Structure 1
């Protein structure tokens, strides 16, 4: 757990967070996620008074897989310390595991919530989400039965990798269990486009009125996307590192696993039909999703 695949990166986030990839229906992961959330609440909030809120969520990413996330707020100027606490608690779980008492406490909490008659609306939402995503819905008694079978050893080894995210102004120096440095994931940049890419430019009007637009270029090749920004850095997202593609009408926004994203939309680039076709051909359909209709500016 938390060895070769672990890393950290900076992003425009309000506070530190941690993401674990895994099977959303794995009962060991469900309990480990809950135990870690409670440990962080006790340490960051009650013991050290650095954080008020500890939030957890599960996000579906396709084919039964998803991300288990933990997010903490932090008192002003304490973001680095909160990130360190978050990582320390993750390592403590990896090395020492969880206890029978912790599992029993979380199981009791799930039982109280899931069997409460007031949770009917939440259960209907869970069933509807499973139907929309093509997943098998399990009712509350079935899920509780699976949780009750989880051992401390299974829960303690449930997370195999982790990605720590910190606000853009925060730097951390952390280590994995084996003592090696926790590497920073950064967007892959270069100064040149490969010779075999197809190049796209911004619309003519934008190039007429903006020097930045005149310098901007989008490159699409068999292995991925390249984008030249205003500083002449060329950002690269390989197709085999794509974690999501947001479909915005005739355009696409491509998100890479290193925190970089490249918008391929008609507002920024002219005649993008071939670029969009290349993205759709290279990225599995399970990673493509429609833009939410609830976003501001999209009408009622």
Structure 2
């Protein structure tokens, strides 16, 4: 699927050759820098835009020919949304939007109370929205997208502009309540990569309108191995010589002595390795044994994350 914007002076290819399949009941994360094409893709999938090439099916419906059915089966929440009525309360806003979505009244009232409870907004339910914090407003935004209880929820940059605590709370609710307990499918876009490995079941990285990586977080990390840092402590009288040998091992990017942390006869380093191919460690252990050193401790102090992968790929 693709999307091209044209004018008299220029032609911009916002999406090119995008192909994705998202299983039901998972949290799918789409990541990329600002301007990479995340919002364009989510607007195509929610029928707000039509593709210039290709087709998309959402919940079994064609986004071109069955747009009303698509919209009835999804919820959509954008961080850029400004459509709440500021002088109305949270309950009044949800009542209004529930009526627009034709949720039956007998279902709407209990549904509103249920959503306010999930998002910890019950006590603020009668407060005008103009007095809500950014975090409260964003929670209400997600609640509105869930009024008709859709099986699929699209969240476009839902934690944008939120403080760390509010963002963590919203992510926990999405992961634990919506996906974990209710079994909903969530399509989540963001440029913020904090805690991605624990949040998403599958991820895709979009760069300049193209999907360049896709899979489980573990599979993506395994496909592009890279730098990890370990604390290595050994007992030896040949610390200086061992350090030289370790530094000469192909794949050892940095060897930093740990000052003062060792007793007599103990030497410690922070060892940064490029683990591509898994060939580094045998040579590290060989160097340790050749100098008659005894291993006392080896532990990972910084693991490679999806944040690192995204930086490497987008910088390429």
TM-score, normalised with respect to structure 1: 0.26
If you compute each CA radius of gyration, which structure gives the higher value, 1 or 2? 2
TM-score, normalised with respect to structure 2: 0.25
